[in-house]
Amino acid sequence: MLSLAVMGSGKGSNFQSILDAIREGRLEARVACVLSDVADAFILERARGAGVPAIHVDGAPFKTKLEGVAEDRVLRILRDHGADSIALAGFMRIVKPKLIGAFRHRMVNIHPSLLPAFPGLHAWKQALEYGARVAGCTVHFVDEGTDTGPIIVQRPVGVLDTDTPETLHARIQEQEHLAYPEALQLLSAGRLRVEGRRVVRV
């Protein structure tokens, strides 16, 4: 059973899919705490509504990364709440080696493309502009690169001629909400073994 910290900066729809999966018995986990670098992010509201500790962590003096005193504070909060793994769910800061190393193969992220295609921001928009006919989402372990960690689950999403960035993003998010609980349950059940870049299911 995972003791999961969820970290996000926005509305937390992937966090909601995790809560739903736990409630429906598809994911054996408890959410130890939810952390956000944005004081009024809806993900914190959602956590409070679900009776989960909801903690704002000030990222200052940095704007785009989690490092220094803020990183140390996060590590302390995770320890205090007994979190043994981390799910990034729309967390908009770059996590740094200290946190990554402390949660090696215990920290996962979700990305709205079939990596290694379209890393970085607004991946669904990149896919559309590239003219891809198959988009998708990827759940992966977090390593020191940007969207480069070992892949746990991917789900494809067909691109329609009529797609706008918004409609494609919405269909990718539907698949994210299936992929994330699925990947976390594999982690929870101890079924993932990382061999180099490959994640093998045991």
Q: Which of 111, 140, 169, 177 is catalytic?
A: 111
Q: List 24's β-bridge partners, or say none.
A: none
Phi/psi at 17 (nearest 5 deg)? -65, -30
d(CA 174, CA 184): 16
Q: Looking at 17-25, 42-50, 85-93, 132-140, which segment touches a copy of itself (CB under 8 A)?
A: 132-140
Asked if residues 93 and 57 have their Cβ atoms less than 8 Å apart, the reply is no
Smallest distance, Å, CB 150 to a copy of itself? Answer: 5
Q: Looking at 49-57, 77-85, 93-101, 144-152, which segment touches a copy of itself (CB under 8 A)?
A: 144-152
One residue of 28, 72, 80, 129 binding a copy of itself per CB under 8 A: 129
One residue of 2, 153, 184, 187 binding a copy of itself per CB under 8 A: 153
d(CA 169, CA 163): 9
d(CA 46, CA 114): 28
81 given a catalytic annotation: no
SS3 label, residue 152: strand
Binding mask 14-53 for a copy of itself (x = CB under 8 A): ----------------------------------------
**Cα–Cα nearest to 187, from 71, 82, 109:** 109
Smallest distance, Å, CB 99 to a copy of itself? Answer: 22
**Per CB under 8 A, 130 contacts a copy of itself:** yes
**Per CB under 8 A, 77 contacts a copy of itself:** no
Q: List 8's β-bridge partners, or say none.
A: 36
**Per CB under 8 A, 150 contacts a copy of itself:** yes
**Per CB under 8 A, 131 contacts a copy of itself:** yes
Residue 159 per-residue DSSP state: P
**Per CB under 8 A, 121 contacts a copy of itself:** no
**Cα–Cα nearest to 138, from 2, 14, 46:** 14
Tell me the site size for a copy of itself, rule CB under 8 A.
28
Tell me the H-state helices in the chain.
Answer: 13-23, 42-49, 69-80, 97-102, 123-130, 165-188
**Per CB under 8 A, 65 contacts a copy of itself:** no
Binding residues for a copy of itself, per CB under 8 A? 114-118, 128-134, 136, 138, 150-156, 161, 196-201
Catalytic residues: 111
